[in-house]
Amino acid sequence: MGCSGRYYLLTLVLCVVTELAIGVRVVSKRKKEAISTADDQSTSASWWQAGTATPFRSDSSNNPFSSTHGLVQTHPSGSDPFSSFGGVGSTSRPSSNPFATSGSGPLSSGVRDNPLPLLARNANGKVSLKHLDFTSSATAELRRNPALSAPDECARACRENEPPRICYYHFTLELYTVLGAACQVCTPNATNVVWSHCQCVLADGVERGILTANRMLPGPSIQVCENDKVVIDVENHMEGMEVTIHWHGIWQRGTQYYDGVPFVTQCPIQQGNTFRYQWQGNAGTHFWHAHTGLQKLDGLYGSIVVRQPPSKDPNSHLYDYDLTTHVMLLSDWLHEDAAERYPGRLAVNTGQDPENVLINGKGQFRDPNTGFMTNTPLEVFTITPGRRYRFRMINAFASVCPAQVTFEGHNLTVIATDGEPVHPVQVNTIISFSGERYDFVIEANNIPGAYWIQVRGLGECGIKRAQQLGILRYARGPYQPSSQTPTYDVGIPQGVVMNPLDARCNVSRNDAFCISQLKNARHIDPAILQERPDVKIFLPFRFFVYRPEMLFQPNTYNRYLVAPQGDHVISLVDEISYMAPPAPLISQYDDINPEQFCNGDNRPANCGQNCMCTHKVDVPLNAVVEVVLVDEVQIANLSHPFHLHGYAFNVIGIGRSPDTNVKKINLKHALDLDRRGLLERHLKQGDLPTAKDTIAVPNNGYVIIRFRANNPGFWLFHCHFLFHIVIGMSLVLQVGTQADLPPVPPNFPTCGDHLPPISLH
């Protein structure tokens, strides 16, 4: 296939950015104060089920704790899994439970945390912090340096004239376990997000080895105000593992070397080493996760919330509360190490699809073979009648499954995506992809009670019918919904869909909103909407399927993934499979052999169908860049979410070929459509394309994004599916030159090959 036409560099026109005044909105309505009574905060009670203890463990035979505490559940056939949940129904425990012999149970044993505080967070409102004793988790650094603020001091309502803080976090990364002995000492609090005093990780009640930051799942939440400085010391104690942490959604202007991409912005952090990340966050709902190997899927992720004073949020009049506890992090979950699925197996546990879905690291699991269900606590979000709440949803999935979130009996008013505010739209359900965030408002306007939250895994996750439940609970009301438990097939009625999978985005419809129909609530650089961008890049992507004879040729060791149907594949973006260089681009550029680099216009000689090199596309600083992503994957039902580091881009168009006799879109056809003016581009006055940093390219379709390349650096641009990253569905956009970048800090770690002359002494 020829390369011409894949990558266009048009004349760079430097545009003077005229700062247009944004319509200033005066928010005068005083926000309500937090209510923080104990019954708002804790889910109370335990999840031990009366009856015979049947801990659900992958192997309980040689585990000393196997019959002592655990997830006892006995509902093979649809009886109510919540009879002991939240203080409703039976609270007696199996006699084999060690807590039972204490006569008091974990709630009153004195070792359990105090109820977690509810922080009121509407910036005019007061912050109410109760019961929080952080002395035990204050690290040496916090004690030593009085200029630093602890996580709970930073998780506050943001005011306009308040001095910024320096918010300090210490992440200790370890190999750890779900249902370890820590669970004999305490039970985690269901609403704990900022940190935990309890080291018990329950997940979905199925024992497995995991990776954790500070023995929490998700890891610690970073919640700060817009101008705060954030400092995170990442101490790697994972045996035999290196790691980097990426701060997904944080632009890293001026701190490009702290973006956390291995061999692009840093050397991976070796075991036993501590790496200090420091950045200032752009406002919004973001998250952090490991960017090395498959570690993210084993538990290394957590939320980031960068709040603003309400006067700076164009949608602040739509909600009364923006609580630390109303972050909703969705993740997919396996019952074994992610590495068990890579490169992948042919007979047992094939493919990469998850066993389960978690909401804030919580959930239950129904064993499809036995029908037994764990009864670990579900996530509970508490609301007060009449109030309006901002929820911050993060899709931290690693797999290809879109996640569909529905709240029983409540509309969702979407007010932001990927940290960027939009003109509000009301929907009933949100479909999101790995890496995306959606902020929405829920008004507590239904009959006070408890309501189901359903998160379904779509796409490939439909095979295992992976879903999870949570509870939206009105304060002082029951913990248990009175309605039928939603099942995968008979769920909460879906109504209007945010982000429909059918990619019908060129028509206004009353059953769905496409992302390309959302309107940006912030100022858009007018140059973004000019007809011709300065740089236009077509990026088709697909898989290359190996024949086994090619892949397993003696003395060749090419990487591959065994896809769900058994195909052995690598990923190609513009016919190139990304390989990381042996040293970081940002700090050791000159150590890298220039022949390592490639792109569609510069393919290495003899680079065949499985061309592997460091795919890098250069973009002039300040150019207006358009990227057209084209899905050339020949698989139905699979849409790839692309994430750009360092930026939020404007989503100019999403669609499929209008040509009904074209069965499969490809680069050639997309170029042809573009020539004929048939690619959808929202460039009219008033279209206000929304800003995002992660966008799913619809299956058999395309996405057009634009951004002004005003943040110099080496920015990874990649499919956010974890198993697609490791087989090369990535490239680096180099914006500007090394001279445009701040130098890396003194003593920045170095790495690289060691290939000295061979000597016998």
Ligand X SMILES: CC(=O)NCCc1ccc(O)c(O)c1
Q: Choose one: 67-75, 433-441, 559-567, 753-761; the region binding ligand X (CB under 6 A).
A: 559-567
Which residues, other chains included, contact 302 with Cβ-Cβ below 8 Å and sequence gap of 6+? Answer: 213, 216, 218, 219, 220, 221, 222, 287, 288, 289, 329
Candidates 7, 342, 543, 578; binder of ligand X (CB under 6 A) is 543
Output the smallest distance, CB 642 to ligand X, in A.
15
User: What is the rounded distance in angstroms from the CA atom of residue 234 to the CA atom of residue 275?
Assistant: 5
Candidates 33, 113, 567, 672; binder of ligand X (CB under 6 A) is 567
Closest to 570 (Cα-Cα) out of 585, 557, 583:
557
715 is a site residue for ligand X (CB under 6 A):
no
Tell how strand 640-644 and strand 612-619 pair up: unpaired
CA dihedral sign, ordered 451, 456, 462, 463: negative
User: What is the rounded distance in angstroms from the CA atom of residue 40 to the CA atom of residue 112?
Assistant: 18
> 430 vs 638, which CB is nearer to ligand X?
638
User: What is the rounded distance in angstroms from the CA atom of residue 621 to the CA atom of residue 534?
Assistant: 11
Q: Is 195 left (phi over 0), alpha (psi -120 to 50) or beta?
A: beta
Q: Choose one: 252-260, 306-314, 593-601, 633-641; the region binding ligand X (CB under 6 A).
A: 633-641
Output the smallest distance, CB 342 to ligand X, in A.
11
564 is a site residue for ligand X (CB under 6 A):
yes
Q: How many other CB atoms are there within 10 angstroms of residue 288's CB atom?
A: 30
Output the smallest distance, CB 58 to ligand X, in A.
24
352 is a site residue for ligand X (CB under 6 A):
yes
Give the per-residue contact string, 88-127, with ligand X (x = CB under 6 A; - = no): ----------------------------------------
730 is a site residue for ligand X (CB under 6 A):
no
635 is a site residue for ligand X (CB under 6 A):
yes
73 is a site residue for ligand X (CB under 6 A):
no
Q: Choose one: 288-296, 500-508, 564-572, 647-655; the region binding ligand X (CB under 6 A).
A: 564-572
Candidates 460, 525, 680, 687; binder of ligand X (CB under 6 A) is 460
CB burial of residue 447 (10 Å; 0-12, 13-18, 19+): exposed
Output the smallest distance, CB 401 to ligand X, in A.
9
User: What is the rounded distance in angstroms from the CA atom of residue 374 to the CA atom of residue 76?
Assistant: 10
User: What is the rounded distance in angstroms from the CA atom of residue 751 to the CA atom of residue 592?
Assistant: 11
Output the smallest distance, CB 400 to ligand X, in A.
5
Candidates 498, 633, 731, 732; binder of ligand X (CB under 6 A) is 633
Tokens at residue 424, please? 């509000």
R_g of the chain computed on alpha carbons: 25
Range 583-600 burial, b when 16+ CB lie within 10 A, else e: bbbbbbeeebeeebbbbb
The CA-atom distances, in angstroms, between 445 and each of 120, 361, 385, 386, 441 are 20, 28, 6, 6, 12
Q: Choose one: 9-17, 358-366, 628-636, 651-659; the region binding ligand X (CB under 6 A).
A: 628-636
The count of residues interacting with ligand X (CB under 6 A) is 14
**Which residues partner with 429 through β-bridges?**
406, 497
Q: Choose one: 26-34, 116-124, 634-642, 647-655; the region binding ligand X (CB under 6 A).
A: 634-642
Q: Choose one: 48-56, 124-132, 402-410, 631-639; the region binding ligand X (CB under 6 A).
A: 631-639
> 264 vs 633, which CB is nearer to ligand X?
633
723 is a site residue for ligand X (CB under 6 A):
yes
> 354 vs 481, which CB is nearer to ligand X?
354
Candidates 535, 638, 696, 726; binder of ligand X (CB under 6 A) is 638
Which residues, other chains included, contact 288 with Cβ-Cβ below 8 Å and sequence gap of 6+? Answer: 219, 222, 245, 246, 247, 248, 301, 302, 303, 304
400 is a site residue for ligand X (CB under 6 A):
yes
Q: How many other CB atoms are there within 10 angstroms of residue 186's CB atom?
A: 18
Binding site for ligand X (CB under 6 A): 352, 400, 460, 543, 545, 563-564, 567, 569, 633-635, 638, 723
